[in-house]
Amino acid sequence: MIVRKSFLAFLVLVTPSLSFQLPVHNRITQSPLFVSIDAPPSTPWWQSYTLLDPSLPTTVRPDFPILHTSSSSSSPLVYLDSAATSQKPLCVTDELTSYYLESNANVHRGAHSLSQKATALYESARDTVADFVCAERDEIVFTSGATHSINLVARCTAEFLSEGDEVLSTVMEHHSNIVPWEILAKERNARLRFVPLSDDGFGVDWSLLPTLLSSKTKMVCLQHSSNVMGVENPLEDILPLVRSLAPNAKVLLDACQSAPHRPLDVRALGVDYLVASGHKLCGPTGVGFLWGANLNELPPFMGGGEMIDTVSATEGVSSTWAPPPARFEAGTPPIAQAVGMARAMEYLQGIGMDRIRDYVGELGKYMHRRMREVEGVEVLGPQEGRDGGIVAFVCKGAHPADVSAFLDVEGVAIRAGHHCCQPLHRALGYTHSARASLYFYNTKEEVDVFVDKLEETLVLLRSMA
């Protein structure tokens, strides 16, 4: 078959005016048809497609040495798993090294100059995070990540949840925005409800929201952007309904997939809590943040050092708590990680969050369009209107884990599994999917390599089957 195609290509090149016929088979009837070729076939659309901002990855890739390494198979690395964790630029790794070599000390606790230096860096990082989401500094709590942040809110709001009250989530959520509320609902004899998918399976059916909201609803928890479907939830439509139909409800927004890709203004969003992880926005692992509009209303999450005002050893005398954010940062915080996350945010702002949003959005749509043309591939989520750089997919006749493993041999790193979204996959009729996710350091050429290798991999896997 390969020889035949090569010979045909030779004929077309050397005899461009030749008119001849090729046998083609109709996929439905399998009867022979004939098409007339009077000229060389046109160039595929994607070969001549040019991005609006092709210089962005070229400019930033020198900041990411890992992107210039080879994979385990010695093929050039094509990293398409940034929705799981992003790569880290040199300025972030340098910041971490500098902190440990020049400023390492515990914060808030020492009168010596090194402790004061570490404290200044740590609190300066809080200012940077606040600026990143257009918040006030005392509204930012450092945590170990978004999962920690969500659990913090769940535990701190437990006393406001009574028997019969309701928490509303969606089937599209990451497990970290379901399981803490499930545990809480069981403890408080409350009800955890879910907004289902729309009939077309392209997103949450928000038209059902009026039937799910009531005065019993005390918390609404949702993703800003899906880590599987690649769609952004319409907050401008959702929040007015929540505020009018569930006036006692608080809204928690999981911004793990949106914070790395677009500018955020927490007050303009209109939510009560927002969480994000540093490792998805070019920062270190082990750190994230919680933003809260009225943190002073909440009791502590954990007890220990730094979160107190006074502690007494007298029976019957209760400890008193420090004001936020210290109230929620018991023990030694992730100091170096917070400093590194702040440096990552400064790096992203230096590029421009609007520029990152536009570039990743366009490259994501390009990848989505190319994926739709791969035979036997079903892309999960809507066919149009995708803003993020995420494409989750299933392949006819090939398990996602096998697809990922064979692509890894070719140097292409993608995700395989349920992506911590089992309810969503069940609603779509699958147990697992594969996922390719982009960031601003990815190129159009990498997407083309991925699609080419995917097509080859599917041919191989189907032949083996």
Q: Letter for the amino acid at 265?
A: D
How far apart, in whole angstroms, are the C-alpha atoms of residue 88 and residue 281? 8
221 is a catalytic site residue: no
Return the half-sphere exposure (C-beta side, CA atoms, 13 A cut-off) of residue 275.
23
Cα separations (Å) of 160 from 163, 190, 239, 251, 327?
Answer: 10, 11, 21, 14, 18
> Phi and psi (nearest 5°) for 414?
-125, 175
Residues 344-371 as b/e (b if ≥16 CB within 10 A, e otherwise) read: bbbbbeebebeebbbbbbebbbbbbbbb
Question: C-alpha angle 333/336/337, rounded to 5°?
Answer: 80
Catalytic-role residue among 156, 221, 282, 420: 420
Nearest to 364 by CA among 442, 302, 430, 289: 442
Q: Letter for the amino acid at 277?
A: S
Q: Which structure tokens are listed for 302?
A: 């954990």
Is residue 81 within 8 Å of 438, Cβ to Cβ?
A: no
Please write down the long-range contacts of 201-204, taking CB distance under 8 Å and 24 or more positions apart.
Answer: 201/380, 201/381, 201/427, 201/428, 202/229, 202/231, 202/381, 202/382, 202/383, 203/172, 203/229, 203/231, 203/233, 203/381, 203/382, 204/170, 204/171, 204/172, 204/233
Q: Does a cis peptide bond (omega within 30 degrees of 0) precede residue 325?
A: yes
Name residues whose C-beta falls within 8 Å of residue 198's C-beta, 6 or more positions apart in sequence. 204, 205, 207
Handedness of CA 62, 66, 67, 68 (dihedral sign): positive
Largest interatomic CA distance in the chain: 100
Cα separations (Å) of 287 from 129, 145, 388?
Answer: 12, 5, 23
Which residues are tagged catalytic? 420
